[in-house]
Amino acid sequence: MWAFSASGCRWLGAGGSLGVAVGGWAAGTLPVRGGWGLWEPRGSALTVAGAVLAYLGLTLLVAAWWRYGVLLARGPLDGVLATLACWTAPLLLAPPLHSADVYSYIAQGAMVLEGHDVYGGGPSLLGPDELGADAAASVGGNWTDTPAPYGPVFLLLAAAVVKVTGGAIVPAVLGTRLIALGALALIVWAVRGLGGGPGGRAGALWLAALNPLLLIHVVGGMHNDGLMIGLVLGGVLLTTRGRWVLGCVLVGLAVMIKSPAAVALLFIGVTIARRDGGARGLVKGLVLPGAVAGAVAAGASLAAGTGFGWLGTQSVAGAIHTPLSLTSDLGLALGTLVADDPDPVKGAVQKLGLLAAAAIIAALAWRAWRGRIDPFLGLGLSLVALVALSPMVQPWYLLWGTAVVAAVAWRGRAGQVLAVLSAALVYETAPSGHTPWYGFVLAGGVLALGLVWLRRDPWPAALPTAGNPSPESAPAR
């Protein structure tokens, strides 16, 4: 049947992506003002119709993506980049989808230009006649007074977008989407370099770049996590090619986007220590990557003129409760049961979660140093553990580790599980950026179906070759 072929998946996925984009024009994360008549509320009936269309399109995209992955697991396919282009193109002119974070980015860039301290206050500091005022009006309530948790490199990029566009909503959003497309291109370049042979590259791109969670939240929602991921993967690629200093520079820039990228320095250090061997190699691996990245961070902080305030705002996001954070949910439940004020108990559980994540990361680094696990598979799993145990978790955070695992071991059990989680979590937020109850129901249903599918039809451990036929030609067990 054509729909189940690679060509069919390409065009069905493109149709799904088009449905997401068209539905977003009525039900996306539309600005409060400044939409130029293009991105404006359309009335309740049209909004509901747009949301239904967007969810149907998303489901078609997820189904096409999963089937495409099954075909890749059975043998190499050509045209993966063409498929990526077809699935990405409909999202290019869409309004912000599934998140209002882009308005925060624009407002924070305007704050830099207007001379406000982005690490001392939130977008509410912008006056009505200042650049970015329209964007500030569209920032989600939790973030209006929240200082920027991002590094100065990203703030400079946001400021450049605001300067070029004058802070007008539509051009500024599209300018930010250009940055997101640059991040996608960087991810593709790094994954292709790390993915091995043709079949390996195609599969790695399937999980890392064609992933609906990435397309919706990096291209559609323009989250700066995509740029952080691309720089980390670029640093990993350069390290595998022996250019670890330049690799650490890229990771240092990634840290200046979002700080969790610093985990990559530990595993680059492990790679250096294993390559050089002995006590000298160990010291070199433990000290030099951090020193290079630290120099990059210091230089970026001074050059940006925003100072080192980002060091004090890394925990501000944890003050906002997100239902995907297991430690926050557990801490709140325990605090409600045992205390009048649940916040101290919740904070303690969150800190224990971070300690547990640190222990897991240390254990994976040890196993990588001993040669029991690939260092960069260890990096991917470490980022997944960090997300799972963090006090603040958003669906797209899963991409931090998923992209790295995809680049080095997409066919493994971890890659398959992360694919199922990606397909489920893409439903958690609505096109409007809200997190409705039915989003969790849909995500839970997809997760259950995906886990059953994996149990009944696990992917083969290696790509079929002439001497290793595909599962269809193998005798039944």
Does position 475 have pLDDT exceeding 80, yes or no? Answer: no
Q: What is the pLDDT of residues 26-59, one digit of tens each?
A: 999 999 988 888 888 777 889 999 999 999 999 9
CA distance 428 to 66: 18
Averaged pLDDT, 14-25: 96
Does position 81 have pLDDT exceeding 50, yes or no? Answer: yes
**Residue 34: what pLDDT?**
86
- For residues 151 and 184, the answer to whether their CB atoms sit within 8 Å is no
Identify the band that residue 143 occupies on the pLDDT scale cut at 50, 70 and 90: confident
Does position 75 have pLDDT exceeding 60, yes or no? Answer: yes
Q: What is the pLDDT of residues 106-118, one digit of tens each?
A: 999 999 999 999 9
CA distance 158 to 179: 9
CA distance 17 to 38: 19
Least Cα distance to 131 among 117, 110, 145 occurs for: 110
**Residue 406: what pLDDT?**
93
**Residue 460: what pLDDT?**
61
Does position 316 have pLDDT exceeding 80, yes or no? Answer: no
Question: Of 255-259, 339-343, 467-471, which one has max mean pLDDT?
Answer: 255-259
**Residue 463: what pLDDT?**
55
Does position 393 have pLDDT exceeding 80, yes or no? Answer: yes
Least Cα distance to 233 among 376, 367, 409, 395 occurs for: 376
**Residue 459: what pLDDT?**
67
Averaged pLDDT, 351-368: 96
Does position 275 have pLDDT exceeding 90, yes or no? Answer: no
CA distance 37 to 220: 20
**Residue 280: what pLDDT?**
81
Identify the band that residue 322 occupies on the pLDDT scale cut at 50, 70 and 90: confident
Own/partner contacts of 392-395, CB < 8 Å, gap of 24 or more, are: 392/317, 392/318, 392/320, 392/322, 392/325, 392/328, 393/322, 393/324, 393/325, 393/326, 393/328, 394/322, 394/324, 395/213, 395/217, 395/324, 395/425, 395/426, 395/428, 395/429
Does position 323 have pLDDT exceeding 80, yes or no? Answer: yes
**Residue 445: what pLDDT?**
95
Identify the band that residue 277 occupies on the pLDDT scale cut at 50, 70 and 90: confident
Between 182 and 414, the more confident residue is 182
Q: What is the pLDDT of residues 195-214, one digit of tens each?
A: 754 458 899 999 999 999 99
Across all residues in the chain, what is the average pLDDT?
90
CA distance 296 to 304: 12
- 3-state helix vs strand vs coil in the chain, percent to 5: 70, 0, 30
Averaged pLDDT, 205-224: 97
**Residue 196: what pLDDT?**
56
- Worst-scoring range by mean pLDDT, 72-81, 86-95, 266-275? 72-81
Which percentage of the chain shows pLDDT scores above 70? Answer: 94
CA distances to 9, 62, 107, 183, 194 from 84, in Å: 11, 13, 31, 14, 18
**Residue 292: what pLDDT?**
95
Q: Which two tokens stand for residue 269?
A: 């250090």
- Worst-scoring range by mean pLDDT, 9-23, 391-405, 457-471? 457-471
Identify the band that residue 266 occupies on the pLDDT scale cut at 50, 70 and 90: very high
**Residue 134: what pLDDT?**
93
